[in-house]
Amino acid sequence: MQTLDLATQPLREVNATLQAQGTGSNATDWEILNPRGAHALAVGLDGPLSVTVRGATGYYTGGMNKHATVHVEGSAGPGVAENMMSGTVVIDGDASQYAGATGRGGLLVIKGNAASRCGISMKGIDIVVGGNIGHMSAFMAQAGNLVVLGDAGDALGDSLYEARIFVRGTVKSLGADCIEKEMRPEHVEILRDLLARAGMDADPAAFRRYGSARKLYNFDIDNASDY
């Protein structure tokens, strides 16, 4: 394992070193020491790297990730794994608002809680949260899966498209055009796979599924108040 230390190296240099390790690089295992809440850490990675961050981070950790595995041994600030394409990002602690925003692929695992707007405008990413999520989560979520082992706040799935939401706990309220849906066998298998990949020990049968009622796809005057 190779070590980068933010106590002695500037953030730009740390990121540039990791970004230079593309497909075919022999240097695949890295650790980052003394992150001290640094913003935009381990962003734009494009290779099969394994990066362990020894501490908490700030904004946009693991943003635009492609192929890499980023593991934060602590909590993360707003926008973790924003616009992620593939790979895996794991947060041992909590995540602030809009975790996984606009993510197009890959897996984001948050072992603690996630704040408001988790999964906003997600476009194919899978997000698994071990604790609770805040209000307006999965707002305008277009594709992918959001799995919540705890509770969900107000306006879950507001203006949802085709993303799936699975919640084990309680939902404070559903957003516009979001409804509870039948948990069919294929959904149980999707959820079982996601929980296994995220390393979460939970029974898929304990979850409820939420999705779009598909009433807002085209303008209808009878639904004008919901837009």
Mean pLDDT of 120-128: 98
Task: Say yes or no to pLDDT of 15 above 80.
Answer: yes
pLDDT-above-70 percentage for the chain: 93
Answer whether residue 227 shows pLDDT above 60.
Answer: no
Cβ partners under 8 Å of residue 209, min gap 6: 164, 165, 166, 180, 181, 182, 183, 187
Work out the number of other CB atoms within 10 angstroms of the CB of residue 26: 5
For the chain, what percent of residues have pLDDT higher than 90? 90
Average pLDDT over residues 15-19: 96
Q: Look at residue 27 in the predicted model and tell me its pLDDT.
A: 79
Sign of CA dihedral 177, 182, 185, 190: positive
Query: In angstroms, rounded to a whole number, what is the distance separating the alpha carbons of residues 39 and 37?
Result: 6
DSSP state of 122: -
